[in-house]
Chain A
């Protein structure tokens, strides 16, 4: 090593864009390899499919699928096409993913705050819970929850933890809001109340700018939020709630969450919330102690310290990993196939078994997941660029 002399600089042919001849050669080589490999794979595929009496193409999507799907958000019968069946599967995926993201965020934030509590009992309990959940595979947890749900009492002895909530082998039953005019006006009342609260908040902020004095808005705001819908209920009539009633061997009315959906949602929410809790905790801890002390020295109330000083800084640390947790939850929902919830992958799997068009179906569902992920990734990278520390 000590005898290394400085080598004379190698003559490089400068090319536009600051790159060199060698770089161009590298890239050309890569392009040729990619094209050749792709071409030979494509040829192999055509030959293999021909040997099995199949033809490459998406024409099968218009054939009748004959796949029975228990849960569908849009009207569906087994006589419908593969295209329709896959759409039903996609909607089922999106349903569990969206609901899961919302619930996991709420539970995750609560757990994260509990993890930071001054109370050692609460801190320890939450810590133990988070470690157990994070260090066991999700597949195992899903199968476990599914087994638990299937071991619940039968419909006639359904657990009834809250009025209108029934837990049984057939899943979870909840009261349903009927879509009628009363519900419409109640929703309008809520929107109007929120708008009014926002206007009030703006006025108070302007007042604070002008006079330095500020009155809290939460009392009139809450009064509006609850008062207006109740008023609307009195004038137009309260929205109808359909309660589940036990009739014979099953429930009638109400909203049903199937055992599979319920187990999948439960598993995804519990698993993801443990990760979100750690992200929230790390984010809040990343804000230096001096920030708390400075805010306190300014005489801010604890709630406002959190909202105005700590959270904006913590969010910078929290948002990027949080987004990837959302993505993980969406991708993990494909484990539905293990417990038999008809999500996109599960329907696609059945379609492959029936048609043999493996390449096309897998290409479709990979493309769908890619689109979901890339859109989120794009947003995340844009945000990342905005908040990243800049060096020179």
Chain B
């Protein structure tokens, strides 16, 4: 820890000098730097003026129009609507509690000291609690139809339930695809490839329009349940490919050693292969989940009011016409913060899992 062993961190002036040297040596390099600076000078000041200097932070639509800049007052006005959607006003504490549970669990799941069986159990219990809390009808909670759910709350529900239901299915599909039994292998491969081969919105259409036709007569499925069905299938197929990557990456010796111990197929997988295969693919799983999370916005095509759709619907408010850019910037910022945090987390895990010196 002494100064003689560890090289001193470069001072600010040293870093600035290195930066300038990297930017301004060689004619081509200088030209590139100047072009970048010109681009920044062209884009940044007008954006800054629009978003900060001329912006209206609170007030009415008329004041916004008069100021000419961004109308953040509109976003402020619609903020809670974008979180809860059309959920009954006096019951909003329920989605709020649900989201607190959700965030707590997500944060706990990112900490490795919690990576135990109990975490899985906690998720299973929370999934039930969250649904009961949202839907009500028991324990003195009033019944709220799923069609009234909306906003960021429903985005969270779709993503989390899709993952919770899809993940076990993904493991089964991945094992099936690597199975030595040809019929099982073909069946799982067919499901994975068929789901991955079509766009998610075609699956959503299928679930929304076609699924009711396949139900016995008299049985109706809730629309949100149908969306979850499609989304779970989608999650399972994509996660299955990630898990399969982990299974393939296991050295053959691991399989052979488990066989040599006389373990049955299920014991071999549960005790030897899966724990390793799932752990090494966690970064890839997080990356896949980022994609799936962004894809929750696709439910717009069948009229489920997720975060983005709710926000878009609020553009039609006759008192606040003409501020789509503000709404889109706000939505983009929310998605960006969530996805960027996840991708940074996955990069950190990847670093942690890579043996030193590679």
Contact = CB atoms under 8 A, between A and B. Distances in A.
Interface in A30-49: 30-31, 34, 41, 44-45, 47-49
B294 A132 contact: no
B36 A45 contact: no
B343 A135 contact: yes
Given A45-B214, A48-B214, 8 more contacts: A34-B187, A48-B217, A121-B32, A136-B294, A136-B336, A138-B297, A140-B335, A366-B198
Nearest to B343: A135
B198 A370 contact: yes
B213 A45 contact: yes
A163 interface: no
Given A147-B328, A334-B199, A362-B206, A49 B184 contact: no
A323 interface: no
Interface stretch (B86-94, B129-137, B189-197, B272-280): B189-197
B352 interface: no
A392 B255 CA distance: 14
Contact of A51 (B217, B298, B312, B325): B217
Interface string B172-207: 000000001111100100000110111111100110
B39 A125 contact: yes
B301 interface: yes
B210 interface: yes
Given A31-B183, A136-B339, A120 B23 contact: yes
Given A120-B23, A140-B331, A332 B199 contact: yes
A172 B254 CA distance: 59
A98 interface: no
Interface stretch (A18-26, A64-72, A80-88, A311-319): A18-26
B332 A136 contact: yes
B295 interface: yes
Nearest to A33: B187
Contact of B32 (A27, A30, A122, A138): A122
B335 A331 contact: no
Given A27-B183, A120-B19, A7 B262 contact: yes
Contacts of A125: 36, 39-40
A26 B328 contact: no
Contact of A392 (B19, B202, B212, B252): B252
A49 B36 CA distance: 62
A44 B324 contact: no
A140 B297 contact: yes
Contacts of B193: 370, 373-374, 377
Given A334-B199, A369-B197, A48 B262 contact: no
Interface in A82-137: 117-122, 125, 131-132, 134-137
A379 interface: no
A338 interface: yes
A337 B181 contact: no
Interface string A133-164: 01111111001100100000000000000000
B61 to A, nearest CB: 18
B356 interface: no
Contacts of A373: 193, 196-198
A136 B335 contact: yes
Given A119-B29, A132-B336, A377 B252 contact: no
Contact of A139 (B183, B194, B298): B298
A391 interface: yes
Interface string A352-383: 10000011001001100110111001000000
Given A136-B294, A335-B298, A23 B340 contact: no
Nearest to B21: A120
B297 A137 contact: yes
Contacts of A48: 212-215, 217
Contacts of B200: 331
Give 10 closest A-B pairs by Cβ, nearest first: A373-B197, A135-B339, A27-B183, A331-B199, A334-B199, A137-B294, A121-B36, A137-B297, A139-B297, A370-B197
29 contacts: A9-B262, A18-B180, A23-B180, A48-B217, A49-B213, A118-B29, A120-B23, A121-B36, A121-B37, A125-B36, A125-B39, A125-B40, A132-B332, A136-B339, A137-B296, A137-B297, A137-B335, A140-B331, A334-B202, A335-B199, A335-B201, A345-B201, A349-B205, A362-B202, A365-B202, A369-B198, A370-B193, A391-B251, A391-B252
